[in-house]
Amino acid sequence: MPELKDFRGTVSITLPETGGKVDLYDCLIAADSLAIEKIYTTDTAVPITAGQTATTMSIRASKYYEAQETTLKLMVKGWDFTDKDGKELKPTVDNIKKLPRKDYDFLMDKVTELTGEKRITVDQKKN
């Protein structure tokens, strides 16, 4: 009988601005995909006034960004960043958001490539 284990591999990348090393899982597992799908399938209608509801682009965009953050959290296995005292920093979403924009975009592009998830950039959102 086959052993059920984590079959994911890892991919190491170097961020272009800081030179930080990031280890990413090479794919999502079923539980990860389900967690992301759950974000998109929750009710996005909000009350406007008594008796009215609307689903707006900004609400859908907020769901998208929530899913994007969840994907980051699930895909980043580790990294080599430390705080000012040399203590290892965990790759939390809050810490990832502290990266320079160039590094963040590079990381998100790699995550998008590995997962096949679509990514909306700030420029695309304006159109």
pLDDT tens readout for residues 9-33: 999 999 999 999 999 999 999 999 8
pLDDT tens readout for residues 58-96: 556 678 888 888 999 999 999 999 999 999 999 999 999
119 contacts: CB under 8 Å, gap ≥ 6: 68, 108, 109, 112
Topology adopted by domain 10-118: rbstp2171 (3.30.2220)
The structure's pTM equals 0.75
Alpha-carbon span 115 to 98, nearest angstrom: 23
Alpha-carbon span 105 to 113, nearest angstrom: 12
Largest CA distance in the chain: 58
Tell me what percent of the chain is helix, strand and coil, each rounded to the nearest 5. 45, 15, 40
